Chains A and B, each alone.
Chain A
Amino acid sequence: MKIFKDIVFRIFVIIFSFFAIMPLIFIFIIILKNGIKSINLNFFISLPKPPGEIGGGILNAIVGTILLLIFASLITIPIGIFVGIFLYEFKNRKIGEICNILIDVLQGIPSIVIGIIVYLWVVKKMGHFSAIAGSIALSLIFLPIIIKSTKETFEMIPFSIIESSLSLGASYIRTVLKVMLPCSLNGILSGILVGLGRISGETAPLLFTAFGNPFLNFNINKPVSSLPHLIFTYTMSPYDDWHRQAWGCALVLIFLVFILNFISRIGLKKWKVKF
């Protein structure tokens, strides 16, 4: 009887796990099927053609996404790591607990709301849409991810390691810089990569900040396009060729997210510190 129950339980577990990964497989198949047609070298290196003309590429969106990711990282990574260290330090105090809750709330704010807020704060003040505004909006989504991954990896460091650094006559700051940060490099980097994967697919906060741009633009003070934004505008359009390109763009985006996750899982193993 016991063995029977065991078998039934196992079968259920297998069936449900299968159901859980089925949607992913279907999504991947559909996107691959529809998107692969538009993928060619030209797709990556040329700019969109005017509506009605066949062909053209998504270079503007690729450059835009890269610009947005770089500037969002520059803003977020230093701040996020410092706040993570702060939260680790103050985890048993009231102020630490309050900050923790606030960061959870920040993480829960819908991304479209973040877009509106950044529109009010940045776009209106500057008087125009820009890549900077887009990066700031993405930063607000990126920030809680880095803060949490930093804090969590710090919490995994055994106290004996910190203690032995202090007992060698190191000040607390040097212990953080020379022992705790190197020991948690793997965790922090994988948090960054997962976070980049997350924000590279965000559309809503970019609608009224980075705005989109059909031309190639490297100036962060001007509007830029991005992969998810391009998918959004092309799908809303009445042109079949643009629909095809949106599928291709979706494939590129999924591939990017896949690569980022793959590196964070497998590529970073070498950096992992075993305690």
Chain B
Amino acid sequence: MESKILKIESFSAGYGKLLILKNINLEIFKNKITAIMGPSGCGKTTLIRCINRMHELNKEAFHNGDILLDGESIFKMNPVLLRRKIGMVFQKPNPFPHLTIYDNVLAGYIINGIKLKREDRDRIVEETLRKVALWEEVKDKLHLRGTQISGGQQQRLCIARVLALNPEIILLDEPTSSLDPKSTVEIENLLEQLKNNVTIIIVTHNISQASRIADYVVFLYLGELIEYGKSEKIFTAPENPKTEEYLSGKFG
């Protein structure tokens, strides 16, 4: 039996008067890749931004219902500590422009003022960059600024920056939508390897990407959860006609 790490219970959220997510119930399995799919504006990004409480940074934001991480409500935790457990990678690669590649990997420690010994730093940087398959490419230029490498490398650096904090879950918001096909494949392969140690939730627009990497698929439509299940099942025999229409490209 696969264990569940995250439980979303009758969860609604939105901004101001606009209700974006409507009564979502969902359980995310540990060490699996869960893809969240759906047409634009269906609430995919809002959903994952709620999971690490980035949603509430907007002053108009509101939410109802609960999200439980290992059985504990995330809304009762300190958001700052929660975000170290649930890391996030954004659509556009955004390494810190004022830090070197080396310091970008350690950014979570540096910005939070966590002091590390020299050898620990070196070890974390090398280990993490190896995990994201970037070590060989950048080991001779760790002193360069984080923005001086290619877009695909920058995105892997952003994943490294999150991994360095040893999170339980990584949220990825369309991480490959601004990358070329080669970098996209590299990131997809990387996610497949990473899932042994960490749970991955990825928002994607790209149906074939979801079918390539996801173990579970969530299909959202207009803020409602239409279908959720194992990826083989959703892609071969979806229960809901809406899912089938979306997958066959009738809308989206």
Q: Which A residues form the contact surface with B (CB < 8 A)?
A: 158, 160-161, 163-171, 174-175, 178-179, 182-183, 185, 273-275
Please name 9 further chain A to chain B contacts, defined as beta carbons within 8 Å, in addition to the given A160-B94, A168-B162, A275-B97, sorted by A numbering: A160-B92, A161-B94, A161-B97, A163-B94, A164-B158, A165-B107, A167-B52, A167-B87, A174-B113
B75 to chain A: which residues have CB within 8 Å? none
User: Is chain A's interface secondary structure helix, strand, loop, or mixed overall?
Assistant: helix
Beyond A163-B54, A178-B110, A274-B147, is A168–B97 a contact (Cβ under 8 Å)? no
| Given A178-B110, A178-B111, A274-B147, A168 and B94 contact (CB-CB distance below 8 Å) | no
Give the nearest-CB partner of A271 in chain B. Answer: B98
Indicate whether B83 reaches chain A with its CB closer than 8 angstroms.
yes
* Residues of B contacting A174 in the complex (Cβ-Cβ under 8 angstroms): 111-113
In the complex, A68 Cα to B83 Cα: how many Å?
47
Q: Contacts A174-B111, A274-B97 given; indicate if A168 touches B83 (C-beta within 8 A).
A: yes
Partner of B108, one of A158, A169, A175, A275: A169
CB-contacts of B81-106 with A (<8 A): 81-84, 87-88, 90, 92, 94, 96-98
- Given A167-B52, A171-B80, the answer on whether A182 and B98 have CB atoms closer than 8 Å is yes
The 6 residue pairs across chains A and B that have the minimum distance between CB atoms: A169-B84, A169-B83, A167-B88, A168-B108, A170-B111, A160-B94
Q: Which of A160, A163, A166, A273 contacts B98 (CB 8 A)?
A: A273
Q: Are A170 and B54 in contact (CB under 8 A)?
A: no
Closest Cβ–Cβ distance, residue B164 to chain A (whole Å): 9
B81: A residues at CB distance < 8 A: 169
List residues of B (116-165) whose CB comes within 8 Å of A's CBs.
Answer: 145, 147, 158, 161-162, 165
Task: Give A274 Cβ to nearest chain B Cβ, in Å.
Answer: 6
Q: With a CB–CB cut-off of 8 A, which chain A residues contact B1?
A: none
Bound-state CA distance A129–B165 (Å) is 58
Instruction: List A contacts of B18 (CB < 8 A).
Output: none
B97 touches A273 (CB 8 A): yes
**Is B57 on the interface with A (CB-CB < 8 A)?**
yes
Structural contact, B97 and A167, CB atoms closer than 8 A: no
- Structural contact, A168 and B98, CB atoms closer than 8 A: no
Set of chain B residues within 8 Å of A185, measured between Cβ atoms: 98
Could you say which residues of chain B place their CB within 8 Å of the CB of A275? 97, 147
Which residues of the partner chain B approach A167 to less than 8 Å between Cβ atoms? 52, 54, 83, 87-88, 90
A90 to chain B, nearest CB (A): 12
Q: What separation, in Å, do the CA atoms of A167 and B165 have in the docked complex?
A: 12
Inter-chain contact A168/B54, CB cutoff 8 Å: no
